[in-house]
Structure 1
Amino acid sequence: MKKLNIMFTNLRIRHKMLTVFLPLMIIPMLLVGLISYYIFQHNEVKKTIQDRMNSSYLIKQRIENVIQNTESCLDMITFYMNDLSGFLTEGSVGTTSEIDRKYAIENKLNFALLVFTDVKEAIFVDNQQRIYAANDRSIISVNAKEQIQAYIDQLQATSGYSKGFEMTRFPFGNGEQSQIVLPLGKKITEIKSGETLGELILFVSEDQISSLFEQMNDLKTSNFYLIDENHRIISSTDRNEVLHAVSNPVLNPLLQSSESEGDVMNIDNQRIVYTKYPLNRNKWLILYQVSLDELMKDYQSLQKISLIVILVCALVTVLVAVKLSVIIVNPIQRLIQTMRETERDLYKVVPAVFSHDEVGQLTFTYHRMTEHIRQLIDDIREEQQTKRKYELALMQQQIRPHFLYNTLDVVYTLAELGRTKEAKKATKALAVFYRRSLSGGNEIITVREEIEMIRNYLYIQHLRYKDEFDYTIHIPAECLDYRILKLTIQPLVENAIYHGLKPKRAFGHLDITGYKKDGMLWIEVSDDGIGMSEEALRTLWSDTSQNEAGNGFGLFSIDHRIKLYFGTPYGIELQSKVHEGTTVIVKIPLIEGVEAS
């Protein structure tokens, strides 16, 4: 690998460009071709399976309609035979009676076949073993009579419901070749007496079913198969397979399942796309097969065209690389000279480049970069000065001599009044407040620590002003371990007391609420004090606004301090109405932390 790197480094730019561009052009095109081929194949298989599933569903519906129509034809002829029951009794004998009987019965059979066109032939055998055919087949072969008798034997064992038989070849006679048909039969009884009048057998031609396959089949090498419960092909677009058992053992597991499915499988070393759709009515299934090569033959021609395009692109790439190497080298040499001069003096102004290509843009960008670096240095210095300013203000806020004096005065008064427990509790609150306020020098603490400091602060203030306001704090436990800048909420609480509740000169309420919203932690400080006008709001937002003690944080300072540490999306929002109250919303990021370090 090291030798290859050295060899590549020593190549001329022209050869480097060829070494890089040719693989970069050819390999992606090959990858795109291969990936697109497999995506196309996948989509084509998926589309074919879906289309053939839909086609199989339509074929299934049509086959079931054919069978239902045939059964309706059986019912219709049953009523006709009941109307002709006078011709079918044992007493109706004689030549004239026989001619009339034959004419009447065959006329009904013919009429039924005109109504139900799906039925190819209808044969009725009365209880005297006389055979009547719809198409007046006066000559019925011996083999046909034997098959008819086999059907009659089975029908006589039924109670009069319609019965289907296996697809078979039936020799109709009159010189006709035997045809593949689906027989359905029924024993006909007289409705009033229950006497058997005979047996009726209808024949549906296999051509009627296979024609449905041909309508749905648009590929030369694809085939539809209708397979019965014995795994025998009873109809197909391949005429040579009809009435033969499925011979390929690979298909046996597929035929055992009764679920509709479609996929690709290997049959006789060939990849075949298949779909299977069951006909639950009679345990048949529709099987469709097509060669995957047949589906992809159009795309294979496109692949050859793509290969020619790749070769042409490779030739063009060679020519372009040679031309580009000449165009690029000279500007690069000039840029190298410029960079060497800049190397000796980092802040030296780069000469103007009279071009707008990448080399000119690179030189211009380098010049802007040096200016940006100088600007960043200035910004860092200014930011450090601002942070030191806020650190000084924070130290002053932590000491708070005015608050300390007032609290000690309250403790003294409580002691004088003999309220020692309250004096002890106030002293403890004062100690905890200052301990949390100092926090070992940490500037970022947890919300839990900030709220504890506020609780102690409010306890002391409530001792002083318990006749003027009360307060509530609602901060969910899930919000207590997030980090917050120290003394963010306390100045807002102090502002609410001194600028909202005290001037009200009536009993008021202070509420502190915390919740998560929009991926941030929101803490609201609300009071029902005197509120503020728009002018007062503008004053509070100024960077000169101070609290009662004169050395604390104004709203502008708190907002700027939050943005300085956490970013511009965070800070303070202020909502206020005169005589209704004020709400200050603090938004800080959801930064986890237990005890601040």
Structure 2
Amino acid sequence: MKNRMLEFFYSLSIHKKITLSFIIAVSVLIISMSIFTYRISSDILIGKAVENTEQHLRLVSEKLEIILDNAENYSKIAITNSNVQRILSDPPTSNPVETYNRYVEVSNALADIVDSKTFVDSMLIYDHNGQIYTSGSLKNVSDVSRQYFNRFAGSPYGLVWNNTAISNYVKEESSHNVVSLFQKFNSSKDGSPLGIIQLSIDERYIADQYANIDIGHDGHIFIVNKDGRIASHPDKSQLYTSITKQPYFSWVLGHAGGKTFTFNGIEHLVVSQSYPRLNWTIVGVVPIQEITKDNQVLTDKFYVLSMVFIGLSIILTILVAKSITRPLNRIKETIKQVQRGNLDVSLELKTRDEVGALAREFNKMVQRTKFLMDNRMEEQKKKKEYELAVMQSQINPHFLYNTLESICALADLQRNNDIVSLVSKMALFYRGVLSKGSHIISIEDEMVITQSYLEILKIRYGDQLDYIFELDEQIYKYVTIKLLLQPLVENSIYHGLKHKRGMGHIIIKGWVNDGKVWIEIIDDGIGMTPEQLHKILTEEPDNYKDKSFGLKSTNERIQLYFGLQYGLEIDSVPGQGTTVRIMLPANMNWSDGK
């Protein structure tokens, strides 16, 4: 599908491409602006919703604080009641009537507090003798005091709030969901422990504090404990259910503020407010769609305006495209002439915009192409002349005649082994020279050709010539031009060592450094003066058929193939010798046409 669309686009004319591209660009821009505007306004609305919901949750937290403070005050009123203090300070009695009267007196004191306070569901007192006193109207009361007696043992004071739980009593024929306070109290006279008071608050009263807060039609507020269970909720069927599997659970326990989460396939805003007194977290949840519903009206109007702008842009694009493609068509016709081989054409456009600049650059390109083509033809011609000169210099009659004369001399002396060795070296040399017609060979093959040449000369000159190769084997994998070293070695022998008394030495070194191959040919011949060196490097015969292949030609040959940054360096000291240093690129792949 993608390839077909690209193929269709590429097949269009520039006029149609500009029109289509501009329409798409404007459409994308307007749509992007619509989305961007929608998101910005949505973020603003969500931010406002977070701020408002946070205020509501802080209000709920403040209400809870008031309720719990009042509950602790009522508990204090109950345990400091004179009748409660007196009865629980008295020693236990075995008289049933007196026991009943004590129970009624304490229960009445508790009932007076409970009946006047709507949020207190019940009050119970547990003494050390197992007696339970209630605020009245309670049935099936379970004694849960033992764990609190143990918890507060050894401490003169103790108070703890329990999470929402099912009451340990029945009231009005049913158990209630309550949040309970358990507090240890002592005698006001001598400080001796008297018992534990339990004050329970109906969860429905807590839920009533936030049930009517409006955070959206489908939004709601609830309270969870640290274990992720719902401690208070307007919908009582949700009580005690766990939210640990909800994506926002871990976030609401550790953060305050608002964040968006997606669950049940809908994106919601979740706002949290911690209530550390009971290790609770007050949570507000509202669908994002409900927050941003008013934003959709603005978006619809923006889309209508977008369609109008797109229509106007189409008309403007068509006019602009025509003004651009008219000079481009002239360029197209001129290019066709260049394709037919006419490099003498020239574009003349009056425009000074990018199209005019293109026309001027096109004229430069045609002129440059013509110049390069002429140079390329001259370069290829020169390469062929150099290669022909190299070949002729190595198969010239003098070298071949001298070698054959050496073979005849060895035959007269009946040195058959030397004859075989000399013929083998000569065959190996000419095999390397041919190299299947390739002008680019590996350095390893070039070293074989050079060594074969030296071996031939060593047999001819006997003890007057010796050579050493000091090569880093890494250079073998790189390439060079064929017969690079042999002409240089020949120059070292014929112009350096031949006129020296005693044995002459040639050292050939090679190494790789900084992405370049370095090769040195060192001889201990007669050397050259600066004037002689300058003459060799600057004077080069033009007739390759009649002259030997010189240093200047070798240097030019290297630069023709590898670039002007490569070539030869020569150091020579009269009476001490000459060093020719070659720098080549460290390339493992190179072709003759490259």
**TM-score with structure 2 length normalisation?**
0.51
Which of residues 549, 563, 569 is equivalent to 1:552? Answer: 549
Query: Partner amino acid for 1:511?
Result: I
Q: Distance in 2 between matches of 1:430 and 1:475?
A: 25
User: 3-state SS of the aligned residue for 2:242?
Assistant: coil
Query: Partner amino acid for 1:151?
Result: Q
Query: Are 1:441 and 2:437 matched, yes or no?
Result: yes
User: 3-state SS of the aligned residue for 1:471?
Assistant: strand
Q: Distance in 1 between matches of 2:283 and 2:147?
A: 29
The 3 A distance-change label for structure 1 pair 417 and 585 is farther
Instruction: Report the Cα offset of residue 437 of structure 1.
Output: 0.7
Q: Distance in 2 between matches of 1:199 and 1:534?
A: 117
Between 429-438 and 376-385, the greater mean CA deviation after superposition: 376-385
Query: Partner amino acid for 1:589?
Result: N
Query: Are 1:583 and 2:578 matched, yes or no?
Result: no
Q: Distance in 2 between matches of 1:487 and 1:328?
A: 57
Query: Partner amino acid for 2:20?
Result: P
Q: Distance in 2 between matches of 1:574 and 1:332?
A: 52
Query: Partner amino acid for 1:445?
Result: I
User: 3-state SS of the aligned residue for 1:436?
Assistant: helix
Query: Partner amino acid for 1:24?
Result: S
1:142-221 aligned at under 5 Å gives the runs: 149=145, 151-152=147-148, 167-168=163-164
User: 3-state SS of the aligned residue for 1:470?
Assistant: strand
Between 23-32 and 535-544, the greater mean CA deviation after superposition: 535-544
Please say if residues 221 and 282 of structure 2, whose CA atoms lie closer than 8 Å, have aligned partners that are also in contact.
no
Instruction: Report the Cα offset of residue 474 of structure 1.
Output: 3.5
Please say if residues 337 and 345 of structure 2, whose CA atoms lie closer than 8 Å, have aligned partners that are also in contact.
no
Query: Are 1:572 and 2:570 matched, yes or no?
Result: no
The 3 A distance-change label for structure 1 pair 558 and 168 is farther
2:382 is aligned to 386
Query: Partner amino acid for 2:395?
Result: I
Q: Distance in 1 between matches of 2:281 and 2:473?
A: 67
Q: Distance in 2 between matches of 1:507 and 1:266?
A: 92
Q: Distance in 2 between matches of 1:560 and 1:302?
A: 75
1:331-480 aligned at under 5 Å gives the runs: 346=342, 352-357=348-353, 360-361=356-357, 364=360, 367-368=363-364, 370-408=366-404, 411=407, 420-463=416-459, 464=461, 468-476=466-474, 480=476
1:219-238 aligned at under 5 Å gives the runs: 232-233=229-230
Please say if residues 520 and 579 of structure 2, whose CA atoms lie closer than 8 Å, have aligned partners that are also in contact.
no
Please say if residues 167 and 182 of structure 1, whose CA atoms lie closer than 8 Å, have aligned partners that are also in contact.
no
1:20-71 C-alpha deviation (Å, 9 max, x unpaired): 5553223234456778969x99xx99xx9xxxxxxxxxxxxxxxxxxxxxxx
Q: Distance in 2 between matches of 1:394 and 1:375?
A: 28
**Structure 2 stretches lacking a partner, 5+ long:** 1-8, 47-88, 92-124, 154-159, 168-175, 185-194, 204-215, 272-279
Q: Distance in 1 between matches of 2:494 and 2:393?
A: 16
Query: Partner amino acid for 1:527?
Result: I
Instruction: Report the Cα offset of residue 432 of structure 1.
Output: 0.7
The 3 A distance-change label for structure 1 pair 486 and 227 is farther
Which of residues 21, 26, 32 is equivalent to 2:23? Answer: 26
The 3 A distance-change label for structure 1 pair 529 and 286 is farther
Instruction: Report the Cα offset of residue 429 of structure 1.
Output: 1.0
Q: Distance in 1 between matches of 2:180 and 2:238?
A: 11
Query: Partner amino acid for 1:522?
Result: V
Query: Are 1:525 and 2:523 matched, yes or no?
Result: no
User: 3-state SS of the aligned residue for 2:584?
Assistant: strand
1:257-272 aligned at under 5 Å gives the runs: 265-267=262-264, 269-271=265-267
**TM-score with structure 1 length normalisation?**
0.51
1:380-410 C-alpha deviation (Å, 9 max, x unpaired): 4322431332132122133144444554555
Please say if residues 446 and 484 of structure 1, whose CA atoms lie closer than 8 Å, have aligned partners that are also in contact.
yes
Q: Distance in 1 between matches of 2:313 and 2:411?
A: 95
Please say if residues 573 and 585 of structure 1, whose CA atoms lie closer than 8 Å, have aligned partners that are also in contact.
yes
**Structure 1 stretches lacking a partner, 5+ long:** 1-7, 49-92, 96-123, 132-137, 158-163, 172-176, 187-197, 207-218, 276-283
Q: Distance in 1 between matches of 2:570 and 2:129?
A: 106
User: 3-state SS of the aligned residue for 1:460?
Assistant: helix
1:256-295 C-alpha deviation (Å, 9 max, x unpaired): 9xxx9x997541x4145999xxxxxxxx999998866689
Instruction: Report the Cα offset of residue 317 of structure 1.
Output: 2.5
Instruction: Report the Cα offset of residue 329 of structure 1.
Output: 8.7
Q: Distance in 2 between matches of 1:468 and 1:344?
A: 61
Q: Distance in 2 between matches of 1:295 and 1:533?
A: 95
Q: Distance in 1 between matches of 2:553 and 2:452?
A: 24
Q: Distance in 2 between matches of 1:512 and 1:460?
A: 20
CA RMSD across the alignment: 6.9
Query: Partner amino acid for 2:508?
Result: D
2:157 is aligned to none
Instruction: Report the Cα offset of residue 486 of structure 1.
Output: 1.6
The 3 A distance-change label for structure 1 pair 572 and 247 is same
1:284-363 aligned at under 5 Å gives the runs: 307=303, 310-311=306-307, 313-321=309-317, 323-324=319-320, 346=342, 352-357=348-353, 360-361=356-357
Instruction: Report the Cα offset of residue 433 of structure 1.
Output: 0.3
Aligned residue pair count = 446
Please say if residues 505 and 523 of structure 2, whose CA atoms lie closer than 8 Å, have aligned partners that are also in contact.
yes
Query: Are 1:513 and 2:546 matched, yes or no?
Result: no
Identity over the aligned pairs, expressed in percent?
A: 24
Query: Are 1:485 and 2:481 matched, yes or no?
Result: yes
1:69 is aligned to none
Q: Distance in 2 between matches of 1:322 and 1:200?
A: 88
The 3 A distance-change label for structure 1 pair 152 and 362 is closer
User: 3-state SS of the aligned residue for 1:591?
Assistant: coil
The 3 A distance-change label for structure 1 pair 514 and 320 is same
Q: Distance in 2 between matches of 1:410 and 1:574?
A: 34
Please say if residues 477 and 588 of structure 2, whose CA atoms lie closer than 8 Å, have aligned partners that are also in contact.
no
The 3 A distance-change label for structure 1 pair 344 and 418 is closer
Instruction: Report the Cα offset of residue 182 of structure 1.
Output: 11
User: 3-state SS of the aligned residue for 1:388?
Assistant: helix
Please say if residues 393 and 552 of structure 1, whose CA atoms lie closer than 8 Å, have aligned partners that are also in contact.
yes
The 3 A distance-change label for structure 1 pair 329 and 570 is closer
Instruction: Report the Cα offset of residue 423 of structure 1.
Output: 3.9
Q: Distance in 2 between matches of 1:454 and 1:367?
A: 49
The 3 A distance-change label for structure 1 pair 356 and 474 is same
The 3 A distance-change label for structure 1 pair 290 and 361 is same
User: 3-state SS of the aligned residue for 2:446?
Assistant: helix
User: 3-state SS of the aligned residue for 1:244?
Assistant: coil
Q: Distance in 2 between matches of 1:318 and 1:378?
A: 48
Instruction: Report the Cα offset of residue 354 of structure 1.
Output: 3.9
